[in-house]
Amino acid sequence: MTGRINWPILVLSFLVSLMLWMIAYGQNLPRILPGYFQVMVTPEGFDQEKLFIRRMPSKINVTAKGTEQEITDLKAEELEAFLDLRGATPGTRNYPIAIFPERARERMSQFPATVAVEIEPIAEKRMRIEIEPAGELNDASYRVAALTATPKDVVVRGPKSEVDQISRVVARLRLAEVQIPNPRTTNVDLEPLTAGGARLPNVRLDQIKTGIQVALRPAPVSRNVVVSPTLEGQVAEGFVLADLVVEPQAVEVTGDTLEVSRLNQIASLPITLTGMRETTSIEVELQMPSGVKVIPTKVRVTVNIQPVQASIAPGGAR
């Protein structure tokens, strides 16, 4: 009986020894830990002259696994995610993404293989420049006669959805900066604007300034000029034109200094006296001289008609 093997005790001893060995071995193994990073996404491989990225993730979340030292060696600022947009077309599609450097990619356990990207085409259109004068000239004796932009047109370029919204390109000229009496060409910034007056962030112009030439003229002058009624025809037989009353007697004439100085009076349109037998009040328009402004443009003329008094001979005989 002394030579028999106690198998249960032997197996139990083996299992205990194996467990103790595994515990000791496990304590000597490096611990595998997770690491979590946010990585900036960089697009590459697309034609920026033809395509615009409307929407894409700026960062992705990635998970790495490794020893504590390996995770520590993966510095977030060294990690890059490159978005492969070769062959990209307008619309929304998923495109592949790769993590760099390569040693970091080997440690990655979780990261998106693709991301959704919205792309739209680049468009352009040629538009006429609109000049908007602002403020007043420093010399009140002058006025702006004309404003001319050189060049007159500009090309608006950018994502199609934004270019379609641009309704005008504006050049704002500060009149206070115009040199008088001999203005020079002024370079003015251009602004592409929507119908609501907003600027869009991705719209560009083929040039950012335009030259504006200012033409000046003397400021208009004003003075009062007498109204002269124009009469035609004769009153009825046995009656006489006793008097004319004009209201107002003078009107304000505004215009170029030379034109205004030539006017001594303003004539009315003809007033017909033919057949008149009684006093009549008539509103009549004035004859407008060219190159001037007249206020008011009508006057009231009262034509005083009286019967002719028969002459009385001496002694009462008619």
Q: List, for residues 144-173, the tens digit of each pLDDT value.
A: 999 999 999 999 999 999 999 999 999 999
Asked whether the beta carbons of 40 and 72 are under 8 A apart, the reply is: no
pLDDT at residue number 315: 47
pLDDT at residue number 312: 44
Tell me if residue 286 falls in helix, strand or coil: strand
- Cα–Cα separations (whole angstroms), residue 201 to 49, 100, 126, 231: 17, 31, 19, 69
Q: What angle do CA 22, 28, 29 make, to 5 degrees?
A: 85
pLDDT at residue number 22: 66
Domain boundaries, the chain: 32-112, 122-218, 221-307
Q: What is the pLDDT of residues 234-286, one digit of tens each?
A: 999 999 999 999 999 999 999 888 888 888 999 999 999 999 999 999 999 99
Residue appearing with tokens 């009286």: 306
Query: What tokens does 116 get?
Result: 């959704």
Positions in the chain whose pLDDT score sits under 50: 1, 311-313, 315-318
Backbone phi, psi, residue 271, to 5°: -110, 120
Assigned architecture for domain 221-307: Beta Complex (2.170)
User: What is the CATH number assigned to the segment(s) 32-112?
Assistant: 2.170.120.30
In CATH terms, are 122-218 and 221-307 the same topology? yes
Q: What is the pLDDT of residues 131-142, one digit of tens each?
A: 999 999 999 889
pLDDT at residue number 317: 43
Q: Which long-range contacts (CB under 8 A, 24 or more apart) does 73-78 make?
A: 74/35, 74/37, 74/104, 74/107, 76/37, 76/38, 76/39, 78/104
Tell me if residue 19 falls in helix, strand or coil: helix
Rounded percentage of the chain residues whose pLDDT exceeds 90: 64
pLDDT at residue number 163: 98
Fold (topology level) of 122-218: RNA Polymerase Alpha Subunit; Chain A, domain 2 (2.170.120)
pLDDT at residue number 36: 85
